[in-house]
């Protein structure tokens, strides 16, 4: 029990509960209902789209890498699906095309990072430009020389966006399923243990016979495909593939994962934390807009939230050691008086 | 005026640990005070307090009889305290001269700094101690021994009243150690207070006048070097007699056939290296830092590319594409740098032990947590790793226990170790644990495991190895049987010019 109370995830859940309480109280004061169906719907849609990014980014972070090309790859994925469907290519095939194309760019990311030894920030920044440009080129090529947003109708693809089960979008169930699968993978499987070890120290992992290159490339491919899935959910509801889809989400997955306690240095963290981080970030953002905080400020506060979450551990330690020093000084002083 | 440094009732606490308490002693100018103690005794913490890197919870520091309160390391340097840490604090992309004068560059008329002046002064300084280092060279291009000397020169040039060395000789070779001792003698003559931390016994008796022993954060005793001997010192540090380290070892008298044969090995760093290793033999690999010892074993282990040459294992030609290949063939490597290459400091003992054997400890894709745990618990028991549980994060263990975790990884029931390569296995490890590790090495040899032992401590190689190979500049320059290996002839082969 004590262990649970001390765990990082417990602290995070507390923060989440406090956030929800604050926003529900605040909005009730303003005569609004934080738990209104429209709010929940908004939260869920945002969570579904950024959730897949969070899983991908979280896995990469655990292995000591980051991918800032994920949002652009997701946008490319959506463009591929949208354009294919608009030309009456069956949905399942469009989905497969997306997986292959996104996977290829993940392979490029992984190759640059683990074989060419680029720092992952730089490699994926380069790839993000390449992908962004190619998205427009691709769109131009499919649409007779004009790069444009596309509307599409495909029952299979739109099933992902329009189906509800017990009033909740199907995407939410799929996302939870993914979180569970990835959570099990990290904590229970061989590959998950390798991820953590490679993230903790790639050199030591390699000298202990772990194929770090393979692990890292796999995770980049995985991240890119998850980005594509995120793009799928972004476009499936409205049946539109926008050329700037996900453009505000370049760092969202990364932020949620880090709030959720996945260490930027790699080797520490899990999917439970990432899920709570995702919920905290989204509750915070939607809550702010429900109570009518100026949207420009919301972005600023999100930054403060991230930094605050990252300093929890540091502050805890700092606080504990100053308290200890003060206590000892007092003890010695009193012992001196008594003597 | 007589210079002095005094600690009064210094105490420092961290949550769960009392790092230092009741530290009371005075070091006089013109004498060298050695700080001794096992890993975790609190020596480094005390030096950090001295340099104001951390603040003590209680207690005072007095310099030349006056109480001082330094707020930061810069403050401490201005107040006359230089500390040379184990981890070098240099700028790899700046020149030797810039590093030596860093923080104190003489300015010129244009508002820049006078590069000609610092080059000239650096040259003088280096020549004074007979160091063959180019002042223009970037520090990142120097070998570790020379980097360490630059660090020492940097502190020496500041000309502070108090100068503290934390394990200064760890990366040095015999040549530089001589230079360092000359420098310390000079500091003594200038009447400065010198603090010296080292695990190497013979150095302490060579260089120190007084010795302070710490144990588990507390002060044990202060004595004059002239009035104590090695046994007394070890007893004070360890708290018990450990006996003569080498003479009580049980050696393998039954050395078998050739197990490994390396023929004309060539990599980027080594040339034409050939040798054999027999079953149950301890083969010592000696040489100066940068002689190509580490590179040789890394190539055999499949960690570095082999350009030319052949390796035969049990008579069969092998070529390892990866470290995994080597491990599957029974060749294991404990790397030189525990923190950077050996362990995953943020993960638990359990994970660090099971690391190379994950595939053997699972069902289909799932880990068998119970088996993993058992394996680690056995390692903790077999190697006497001091920890309450296998779930402890490796970074929180002492150096000796960390090394034992690596040994536990390579010697257990799921891996079939034929050859164990130990690269500097006792670096930065205290005497008590060192003795344990020597005993382990001999036990393993008796069990028929062949061992390649790399060590910069000559006495270690000479006393443990059945045969010593000496390397210089990427070549093998000498081979001695145990009977013929003396410090003189091994050193002569190592420094061959």
Strands B419-423 and B331-334, by their bridges, are: parallel
Residues 6 or more apart whose CB falls under 8 angstroms from that of B166 comprise: B43, B44, B47, B83, B84, B85, B86, B197
Looking at the complex, does the CB of residue A320 fall below 8 Å from at least one CB of chain B? Answer: yes
Looking at the complex, does the CB of residue B473 fall below 8 Å from at least one CB of chain A? Answer: no
Q: What pLDDT score was predicted for residue B231? A: 81
Residues 6 or more apart whose CB falls under 8 angstroms from that of B393 comprise: B345, B346, B347, B348
| pLDDT range class, residue B241, cuts 50, 70, 90 | low
Query: Among A221-225, A304-308, B379-383, which stretch is predicted with the lowest mean pLDDT?
Result: A304-308
Q: What is the ipTM of this complex?
A: 0.86
Mean pLDDT of the B171-176 span: 81
Q: How far is residue B42 CA from its own chain's centroid? A: 17
Residues 6 or more apart whose CB falls under 8 angstroms from that of A97 comprise: A80, A81, A84, A89
% of chain B at pLDDT higher than 90: 47
Helix (H, G, I), strand (E, B) or coil at B18: strand
Helices (H), B161-253: 174-189, 201-207, 230-238
**Protein fold of A44-293:** ABC transporter involved in vitamin B12 uptake, BtuC (1.10.3470)
What would the DSSP string read from start to end of B358-374? GGGGEETTEE-HHHHHH
The answer to whether residues A230 and A242 touch, using CB atoms and an 8 Å cutoff, is no
Q: How far is residue B26 CA from its own chain's centroid? A: 28
Distance of alpha carbon A157 from alpha carbon A90, whole angstroms: 9
Q: What pLDDT score was predicted for residue A10? A: 87
pLDDT tens digits, residue range B309-318?
999 999 999 9
Mean pLDDT of the B424-451 span: 89
Residue of B344, B354, B367 to mutate for A, most A C-beta atoms under 10 A? B344
Contacts of B326 in chain A (CB under 8 A): 209
Distance of alpha carbon B134 from alpha carbon B240, whole angstroms: 48
A-B C-beta contacts closer than 8 Å: 99
Closest to B324 (Cα-Cα) out of A29, A210, A184, A108: A210
Q: What pLDDT score was predicted for residue B243? A: 63
Q: How far is residue A305 CA from its own chain's centroid? A: 15
Distance of alpha carbon A168 from alpha carbon B126, whole angstroms: 75
Burial-class residue B377 by CB neighbours within 10 Å (0-12, 13-18, 19+).
Answer: middle
What average pLDDT is seen over chain B? 89
The answer to whether residues B35 and B214 touch, using CB atoms and an 8 Å cutoff, is yes
The answer to whether residues B475 and B271 touch, using CB atoms and an 8 Å cutoff, is yes
pLDDT at position B289 over 80: no
pLDDT tens digits, residue range B456-469?
888 889 889 999 99
pLDDT tens digits, residue range A206-238?
999 999 999 999 999 999 999 999 999 999 988
Two tokens at B5? 């440094």
Residues 6 or more apart whose CB falls under 8 angstroms from that of A262 comprise: A58, A61, A62, A268, A269, A270, A273, A274, A277
Contacts of B354 in chain A (CB under 8 A): 193
pLDDT at position A1 over 60: no
Closest to B466 (Cα-Cα) out of B447, B448, B490, B445: B445
Closest to A68 (Cα-Cα) out of A183, A216, A227: A227
Looking at the complex, does the CB of residue B146 fall below 8 Å from at least one CB of chain A? Answer: no
E strand map for B87-180: 162-166
Sign of the Cα torsion A289, A290, A292, A293 reads: negative
pLDDT at position A103 over 90: yes
Contacts of B371 in chain A (CB under 8 A): none
The answer to whether residues B183 and B150 touch, using CB atoms and an 8 Å cutoff, is no
Q: What pLDDT score was predicted for residue A233? A: 95
Contacts of B367 in chain A (CB under 8 A): 188-190, 192-193
pLDDT at position B94 over 60: yes
Burial-class residue B218 by CB neighbours within 10 Å (0-12, 13-18, 19+).
Answer: middle
Interior angle at CA B208, CA B204 and CA B214, nearest 5: 70
DSSP letter, residue B385: -
Closest to B421 (Cα-Cα) out of B306, B294, B307: B294
Q: b/e map of A21-59 (b: 16 or more CB within 10 Å)?
A: eebbebbeeeeeebeeeebeebbbbbbbbbbbbbbbbbb
pLDDT at position B27 over 80: yes
pLDDT tens digits, residue range B326-367?
999 999 999 988 888 999 998 999 999 999 999 899 888 999
Nearest to A197 among B340, B351, B366 (CB): B351
Mean pLDDT of the A137-142 span: 92
CA Rg, chain A, in Å?
Answer: 23
Element (H, E) at B473: none
Contacts of B324 in chain A (CB under 8 A): 209-211
| pLDDT range class, residue A3, cuts 50, 70, 90 | low
Distance of alpha carbon B138 from alpha carbon B145, whole angstroms: 14
Tell me if B356 and A209 make a contact (CB, 8 A cut-off). Answer: yes
Looking at the complex, does the CB of residue A115 fall below 8 Å from at least one CB of chain B? Answer: no
Mean pLDDT of the B286-304 span: 89
Strands A164-165 and A168-169, by their bridges, are: antiparallel
CA Rg, chain B, in Å?
Answer: 24
Distance of alpha carbon A65 from alpha carbon A62, whole angstroms: 7
Tell me if A190 and B359 make a contact (CB, 8 A cut-off). Answer: yes
Tell me if B15 and A191 make a contact (CB, 8 A cut-off). Answer: no
**Distances from the Cα of B31 to the Cαs of A253, B79, B194, B195, B210, in angstroms?**
60, 20, 7, 9, 7
pLDDT at position A34 over 90: no
pLDDT at position A165 over 80: yes
Instruction: Delimit the domains of chain A by residue range.
Output: 44-293
pLDDT tens digits, residue range A173-198?
999 999 999 999 999 999 999 999 99
Q: How far is residue B45 CA from its own chain's centroid? A: 18
Two tokens at A247? 């453009």
Q: What pLDDT score was predicted for residue A139? A: 93
Placement of tokens 């230079």 in the chain: B179
Distance in Å, alpha carbon of B57 to nearest chain A alpha carbon: 5
E strand map for A231-300: 240-241
Residues 6 or more apart whose CB falls under 8 angstroms from that of B466 comprise: B251, B252, B255, B281, B282, B283, B445, B481, B482
Looking at the complex, does the CB of residue A197 fall below 8 Å from at least one CB of chain B? Answer: yes
Looking at the complex, does the CB of residue A325 fall below 8 Å from at least one CB of chain B? Answer: yes
Taking residue B484's Cβ as centre, other Cβ atoms within 10 Å add up to 12
Mean pLDDT of the B123-147 span: 87
Mean pLDDT of the A86-99 span: 93
Distance of alpha carbon B295 from alpha carbon B230, whole angstroms: 35
Strands A150-151 and A240-241, by their bridges, are: antiparallel
pLDDT at position A5 over 80: no
């Amino acid at each position: 029990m004590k262990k649970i109370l001390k765990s990082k995830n417990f602290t995070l859940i507390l923060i989440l509960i406090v956030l929800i309480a604050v926003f529900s109280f605040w909005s009730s004061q303003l005569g609004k209902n934080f738990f209104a169906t429209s709010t929940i719907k908004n939260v869920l849609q945002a969570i579904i789209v950024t959730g897949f990014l969070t899983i991908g980014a979280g896995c990469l972070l655990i292995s000591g890498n980051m991918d800032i090309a994920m949002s652009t790859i997701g946008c490319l994925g959506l463009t591929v699906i949208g354009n294919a469907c608009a030309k009456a290519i069956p949905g399942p095939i469009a989905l497969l095309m997306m997986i292959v194309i996104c996977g290829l760019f993940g392979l490029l990311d992984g190759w640059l990072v683990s074989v060419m030894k680029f720092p992952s920030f730089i490699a994926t920044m380069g790839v993000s430009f390449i992908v962004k440009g190619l998205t427009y080129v691709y769109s131009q090529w499919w649409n007779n020389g004009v790069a444009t947003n596309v509307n599409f109708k495909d029952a299979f693809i739109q099933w992902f966006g329009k189906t509800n089960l017990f009033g909740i979008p199907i995407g939410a169930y799929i996302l939870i399923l993914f979180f569970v699968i990835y959570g099990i993978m990290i904590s229970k499987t061989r590959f998950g243990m390798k991820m953590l070890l490679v993230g903790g120290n790639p050199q030591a992992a390699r000298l202990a016979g772990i194929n770090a290159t393979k692990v890292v490339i796999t995770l980049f491919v995985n991240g890119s495909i998850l980005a594509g899935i995120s793009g799928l959910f972004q476009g499936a509801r409205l049946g539109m593939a926008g050329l700037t889809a996900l453009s505000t989400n370049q760092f969202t997955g990364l932020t949620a994962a880090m709030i959720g306690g996945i260490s930027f240095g790699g080797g520490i963290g899990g999917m439970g934390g990432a899920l709570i981080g995702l919920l905290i970030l989204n509750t915070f953002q939607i809550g702010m807009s429900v109570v009518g905080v100026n949207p420009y400020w919301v972005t600023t506060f999100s930054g403060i939230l991230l930094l605050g979450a990252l300093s929890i551990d540091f502050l805890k330690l700092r606080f504990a050691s100053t308290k200890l020093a003060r206590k000892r000084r007092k003890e010695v002083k009193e012992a001196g008086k008594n003597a | 005026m007589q210079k002095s440094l005094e600690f009064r009732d210094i105490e420092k606490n961290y949550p769960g640990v009392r790092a230092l308490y009741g530290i009371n002693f005075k070091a006089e100018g013109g004498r060298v005070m050695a700080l001794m103690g096992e890993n975790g005794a609190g020596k480094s913490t005390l030096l950090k307090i001295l340099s104001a890197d951390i603040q003590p919870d209680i207690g005072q520091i007095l310099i030349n009889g006056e109480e001082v309160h330094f707020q930061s390391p810069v403050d401490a340097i201005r107040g006359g305290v230089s500390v040379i840490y184990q981890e070098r604090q240099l700028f790899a992309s700046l020149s030797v001269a810039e590093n030596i004068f860093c923080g104190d560059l003489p300015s010129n008329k244009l508002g820049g700094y006078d590069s000609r002046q610092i080059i000239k002064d650096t040259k003088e300084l280096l020549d004074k101690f007979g160091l063959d280092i180019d002042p223009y060279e970037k520090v990142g291009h120097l070998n570790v021994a020379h980097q360490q000397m630059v660090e020492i020169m940097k502190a020496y040039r500041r000309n502070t009243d108090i100068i503290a060395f934390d394990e200064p000789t760890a990366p040095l070779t015999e040549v530089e150690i001589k230079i360092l001792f000359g420098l310390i003698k000079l500091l003594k003559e200038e009447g400065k207070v010198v603090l010296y931390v080292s695990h190497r016994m013979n150095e302490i008796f060579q260089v120190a006048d007084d010795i302070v022993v710490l144990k588990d954060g507390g002060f044990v005793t202060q004595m004059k070097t002239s009035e104590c001997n090695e046994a007394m010192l070890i007893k004070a540090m360890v708290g018990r007699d450990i006996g003569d380290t080498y003479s009580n070892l049980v050696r393998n008298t039954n050395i078998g056939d050739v197990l490994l044969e390396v023929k004309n090995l060539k990599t980027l760093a080594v040339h034409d290296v050939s040798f054999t290793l027999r079953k149950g033999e301890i083969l010592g690999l000696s040489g100066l830092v940068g002689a190509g010892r580490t590179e040789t074993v890394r190539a055999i282990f499949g960690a570095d590319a082999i350009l030319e040459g052949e390796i035969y294992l049990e008579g069969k030609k092998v070529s390892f594409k990866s470290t995994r290949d080597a491990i599957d063939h029974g060749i294991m490597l404990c790397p030189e740098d525990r923190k950077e290459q050996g362990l995953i400091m943020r993960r638990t003992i359990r994970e660090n032990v099971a690391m190379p054997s994950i595939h053997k400890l699972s069902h289909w894709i799932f880990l068998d947590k119970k088996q993993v745990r058992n394996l680690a618990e056995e390692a903790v028991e077999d190697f006497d790793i001091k920890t309450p549980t296998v779930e402890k994060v490796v970074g929180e263990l002492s150096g000796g226990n960390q090394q034992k975790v690596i040994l536990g990884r390579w010697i257990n029931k799921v891996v079939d170790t034929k050859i164990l390569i130990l690269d500097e296995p006792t670096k930065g490890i205290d005497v008590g644990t060192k003795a344990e590790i020597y005993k382990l090495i001999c036990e393993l040899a008796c069990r028929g495991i062949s061992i390649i032992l790399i060590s910069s401590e000559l006495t270690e190689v000479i006393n443990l190895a059945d045969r010593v190979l000496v390397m210089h500049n990427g070549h093998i320059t000498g081979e001695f049987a145990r009977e013929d290996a003396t410090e003189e002839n091994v050193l002569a082969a190592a420094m061959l010019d």
